[in-house]
A and B are shown apart, each in its own frame.
Chain A
Amino acid sequence: MSPRSGDGRAWRTRRRHRSGAGREAWTTGPHSADCSCGRRATITRAGRAGFVARAAMGFEAARSQANSIRPVVHIGYHKTATKWFQKQFYPRVENAELVPRETVREAFLEPTALHFDPDRARAMLNGAGPGPILCEEGLSGYLHNGGLAGCLSKDVAYRIRGVFPEARIVIFIKSQPAVVAGSYEQYVRGGGHSRRGATCSRKPICAALGGRSPRRRASPSIISSTARLSSIIGGCSDGKTSTSSPTKPSATIPPRSSNPIAACWASTSISTRCRCGQ
């Protein structure tokens, strides 16, 4: 019996996903860049269109051909619309199940470093069904302490590799000024009141970008941080783990056409469906 069997929230979530309204009305067929249906414009007009385009590019770096659904672990970073993915995107995935954040935290973040058991965590998460999707930005560190100089991020990376060595890791990045501004805004939303300059210079908000304290003179590098995190997670998986680390040269970048969102999505292997059947 799965430990999650008694999780009422998880089961309610699952029922809601399976009874998605109107799902049967959608005809099969990929929604590609040259799709001429009217629905395409809805996507391009959306407020988050620019971000989704960047997100799709992040996905592209993880290109690999696979037929089976493997666990997907989306670890952040913070302020890269992870909440939108948790609330809007991943729950609508038809062939995989989103694991509630509470379960992910209970499995990965609540056990101490000396008491973490990969088997127990795997047992908790395997109840989510085929190809579980984990989306929790806390897996990349905590926003307000900079990931404890990267120690938290590194340990969680080892935990992820221990639980799901075959997982696909999704990492989204964002421009550093936007991340710092969003972090400050989140700080105020969380009850803070310090001025922007004092907060950004004194406290490790900026460290969330590179996993280093901003007081250190060494130049932080989001490349090195992401690369090291990715190498830890996928280091011993015989190449089975693909990450969206920007350090790996990606394939062709889709041209910025009149419909960049569709082009970006078409460049990924995330199959989408459209009413027009194209």
Chain B
Amino acid sequence: MLGLDIDLNAVPMRPINRSYGLAVLRLVRILNHLTYRTVQDKHYFLHIPYWYGLVRALGEALNMLPGIGRAPSPSYLLGPEVSGWVEQRYWGSNRELMAGTGLPLADYGYPLHPPKAELPEPRPHPALAWLWN
């Protein structure tokens, strides 16, 4: 197939881009209000030069600490509304994928069943929607 020759035993299996833990994620979200970045939905109170690099280093350092760096599960991080909506959108194509390839997708967290009731597209609360305009 690919024909690559590699010694698997010499390949470190430690993660490179480890996900933030929940506590680190919340802290970084707050600190990100003080820096300008070109990501979507970005607002900032004031831009402090080099603040982003500091926050990034702080987040990575905190994420290395045992106990605090545990990444939350997708369903916990996204919440039931968004998680259910994602599952609703992809369960059908995932079944096609599983039928076409025979891969045991259920073992790897792919949504394969429709939700009990149709879920609306997640939106900000109407009273707070103006914040994202």
Q: Which residues of chain A (212-246) have a CB below 8 Å from chain B?
A: 214-215, 219-224, 242, 246
- On whether the beta carbons of A69 and B3 are closer than 8 Å, the reply is yes
Return B23 CB to nearest CB of chain A, in Å. Answer: 13
Bound form: Cα–Cα A49–B13 in Å: 8
Q: Which residues of B contact A148 (CB under 8 A)?
A: none
Q: Which of A6-14, A111-119, A155-163, A191-199 contacts B (4 or more CB under 8 A)?
A: A191-199
B17, B37, B111: the one within 8 Å of A192 (CB): B37
Instruction: Name A's B-contacting residues (CB within 8 A).
Output: 20, 22-23, 26, 31, 39, 42-43, 46-50, 52, 54, 57, 59-70, 72, 81, 83-84, 87-89, 92-96, 131, 133, 144, 168, 170, 175-178, 180-182, 184-185, 187-203, 205-206, 209-210, 214-215, 219-224, 242, 246-250, 253, 256, 265, 268-275
B14, B87, B102: the one within 8 Å of A47 (CB): B14
- On whether the beta carbons of A271 and B4 are closer than 8 Å, the reply is yes
Q: A20-B10, A249-B101 are in contact. List 19 more A-B contacts (CB 8 A).
A: A23-B7, A26-B7, A42-B9, A43-B9, A59-B1, A62-B1, A81-B15, A84-B16, A95-B3, A144-B39, A175-B108, A188-B20, A192-B42, A197-B122, A198-B41, A256-B104, A271-B6, A272-B7, A273-B8
Q: Which residues of B contact A62 (CB under 8 A)?
A: 1-2
Q: In this complex, what residue of B is CB-closest to A192?
A: B39
- On whether the beta carbons of B6 and A270 are closer than 8 Å, the reply is yes
B46-74 CB contact bits vs A (8 Å, 1 = yes)?
00000010001001000000000001111
Bound form: Cα–Cα A63–B12 in Å: 26
Return A15 CB to nearest CB of chain B, in Å. Answer: 17
Q: Which residues of A contact B111 (CB under 8 A)?
A: 175-177
- On whether the beta carbons of A95 and B5 are closer than 8 Å, the reply is yes
- On whether the beta carbons of B100 and A249 are closer than 8 Å, the reply is yes
| Pairs across A and B, CB under 8 Å, 18 listed | A72-B2, A83-B17, A88-B16, A92-B10, A175-B111, A176-B89, A177-B87, A181-B74, A184-B77, A187-B39, A192-B37, A196-B79, A197-B124, A220-B90, A223-B96, A246-B101, A253-B102, A269-B3
A43, A96, A184, A195: the one within 8 Å of B4 (CB): A96
- On whether the beta carbons of B41 and A199 are closer than 8 Å, the reply is yes
Return B94 CB to nearest CB of chain A, in Å. Answer: 8
Bound form: Cα–Cα A265–B56 in Å: 36
Q: In this complex, what residue of B is CB-closest to A89?
A: B11
Q: Which residues of A contact B94 (CB under 8 A)?
A: 176, 222
Q: Which residues of A contact B105 (CB under 8 A)?
A: 175
Bound form: Cα–Cα A224–B3 in Å: 28
Bound form: Cα–Cα A193–B103 in Å: 36
Bound form: Cα–Cα A190–B28 in Å: 10
- On whether the beta carbons of B5 and A22 are closer than 8 Å, the reply is no
Bound form: Cα–Cα A221–B36 in Å: 34
Return B131 CB to nearest CB of chain A, in Å. Answer: 8
Q: Which residues of A contact B5 (CB under 8 A)?
A: 93-95, 270-271, 273
Q: Which residues of A contact B72 (CB under 8 A)?
A: 181
Q: Which residues of B contact A93 (CB under 8 A)?
A: 4-6
Return B82 CB to nearest CB of chain A, in Å. Answer: 5
B29, B78, B81, B108: the one within 8 Å of A180 (CB): B78
- On whether the beta carbons of A253 and B103 are closer than 8 Å, the reply is yes
